[in-house]
């Protein structure tokens, strides 16, 4: 394999940890740099810089390496490059589409659905997805998981605790280990679920130490990763998901249905196939949350259902994600199914 990154000494977890930290710290934050690296038209720069003032650009090297140089339409680039459309106000798109701010307990726990508490474990993400429903939220506090655990320890735990964020795998391995041990001691808990884009954004984050902590955790672990397009799952990501699979009871994927990225049945089918090769199963295909700045990604529910139906005709049931939408105040995510026979 050709690589332009320095070779790592093969000394296991230690060098792995250093590599993911370097890749995280080295994430591209300047539109001009992304444009230069990919040989993109200079005209993209000014609107990108303007949109990045509302929500900064952030994309790590391993993710950029999977983009096609010189292609402004690249489906991975589209997910991260700020564009002029983000700065337009669109009716129906707001700052907090899921009314989540009101549901946050002071301790960083979202208790929205029965039996599952979602912990805002870490502030920030390794990559800034332009369609993110949290793009307008103030960055969380990095130590949020400690107050969240204190809350669960005092108030009682549900069957499943979901570590989300931001991205919980921004925490270091020692913090993850402590978190898993403390969760395992809670009465009534059965599982921990980790919602993370890290194995896709920076696959080196799946270190030997992380895998060991997950495998030895005193409760079952489920990883839910996030890839939207088959090009996101390259050989390195496949290897990282394989390592995770060795330590977790399941590795699942959630994707967002995005116009210009994955809004055709062939791409969605290829994504499911790639995920399965990487030992991950498709879980959810989300309709876009109406967050301001993301309207240009919207695929309406009827189109979503038509694509999903086409997908259902192509794939075995276990490779078919559920098409869902989040409705503020609802007791569960709303699963969309075609009406009629």
Q: Which is nearer to ligand SF4, 108 or 315 (CB)?
A: 108
Among ligand SF4, ligand PLP, none, partner that 128 touches (CB below 5 to 8 angstroms by kind): ligand SF4
Question: What is the three-class DSSP state of 159?
Answer: coil
Contact 219, 191 (CB under 8 A): yes
Q: Which does 134 bind (CB under 5 to 8 A by kind): ligand PLP, ligand SF4, none?
A: ligand SF4
Contact flag: residue 125 with ligand SF4 (CB under 6 A):
yes
In the bound state with ligand SF4, the residue whose beta carbon lies nearer, of 19 and 134, is 134
**Rounded CA separation 310/120 (Å):** 36
**Least gap, CB of 103 to ligand PLP (angstroms):** 7
Distance CA 169, CA 179 (A): 12
Minimum CB–partner distance for residue 338 and ligand SF4 (Å)? 27
Backbone angles phi, psi at 137, to 5 degrees: -80, 145
Stretch that binds ligand SF4, among 124-132, 265-273, 323-331, 332-340 (CB under 6 A): 124-132
> Could you give the C-alpha distances from 154 to 94, 121, 187, in angstroms and in order?
34, 17, 11
**Partner in contact with 132, chosen from ligand SF4, ligand PLP, none, beta carbon below 5 to 8 Å by kind:** ligand SF4
CA distance 179 to 187: 15
* Residue 272: CB minimum distance to ligand PLP, A: 18
Q: Which of 123, 117, 92, 124 is nearest to 103 (CA)?
A: 117
> Which residue among 19, 193, 197, 274 contacts ligand SF4 (CB under 6 A)?
197
CA angle 339-340-341, nearest 5°? 130
C-beta of 185: minimal distance to ligand SF4 in Å? Answer: 28
Of 39-47, 126-134, 233-241, 243-251, the window that binds ligand SF4 (rule: CB under 6 A) is 126-134
* Conformation bin of residue 115: beta by default, left when phi > 0, alpha when psi is -120 to 50: left
Q: Which entry of ligand SF4, ligand PLP, none binds 162, CB below 5 to 8 A by partner kind?
A: ligand PLP
Residue 303, SS3 per DSSP: helix
Q: Report if residue 229 touches ligand SF4, rule: CB under 6 A.
A: no
Q: Which residues bind ligand SF4 (CB under 6 A)?
A: 125, 127-129, 132, 134, 167, 197, 226
């Amino acid at each position: 394999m050709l690589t332009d990154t320095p070779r790592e000494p093969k000394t296991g977890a230690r060098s792995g940890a250093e590599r993911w930290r370097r890749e995280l710290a080295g994430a591209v934050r300047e539109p001009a740099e992304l444009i230069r690296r990919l040989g993109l038209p200079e005209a993209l720069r000014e609107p990108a810089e303007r949109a990045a003032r509302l929500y900064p650009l952030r994309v790590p090297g391993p993710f950029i390496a999977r983009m096609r140089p010189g292609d402004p339409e690249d489906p991975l680039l589209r997910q991260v490059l700020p564009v002029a459309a983000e700065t337009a106000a669109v009716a129906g798109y707001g700052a907090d589409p899921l009314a989540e701010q009101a549901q946050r307990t002071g301790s960083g726990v979202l208790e929205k659905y029965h039996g599952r508490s979602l912990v805002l474990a870490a502030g920030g993400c390794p990559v800034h997805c332009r369609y993110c429903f949290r793009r307008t939220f103030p960055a969380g506090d990095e130590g949020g998981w400690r107050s969240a655990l204190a809350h669960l320890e005092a108030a009682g735990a549900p069957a499943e605790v979901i570590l989300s964020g931001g991205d919980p795998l921004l925490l270091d391995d020692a913090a993850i280990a402590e978190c898993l041990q403390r969760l395992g001691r809670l009465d009534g808990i059965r599982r921990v679920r980790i919602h993370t884009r890290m194995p896709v954004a920076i696959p080196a984050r799946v270190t030997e130490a992380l895998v060991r902590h997950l495998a030895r955790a005193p409760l079952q672990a489920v990883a839910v990763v996030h890839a939207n397009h088959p090009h996101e799952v390259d050989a390195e990501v496949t290897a990282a998901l394989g390592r995770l699979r060795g330590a977790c009871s399941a590795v699942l994927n959630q994707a967002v249905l995005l116009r210009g990225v994955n809004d055709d049945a062939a791409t969605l089918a290829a994504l499911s196939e790639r995920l399965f090769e990487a030992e991950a199963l498709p879980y959810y295909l989300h309709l876009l949350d109406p967050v301001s700045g993301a309207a240009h990604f919207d695929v309406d529910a009827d189109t979503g259902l038509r694509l999903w139906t086409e997908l259902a005709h192509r794939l075995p049931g276990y490779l078919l994600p559920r098409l869902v939408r989040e409705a503020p105040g609802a007791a569960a995510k709303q699963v969309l199914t075609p009406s009629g026979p």
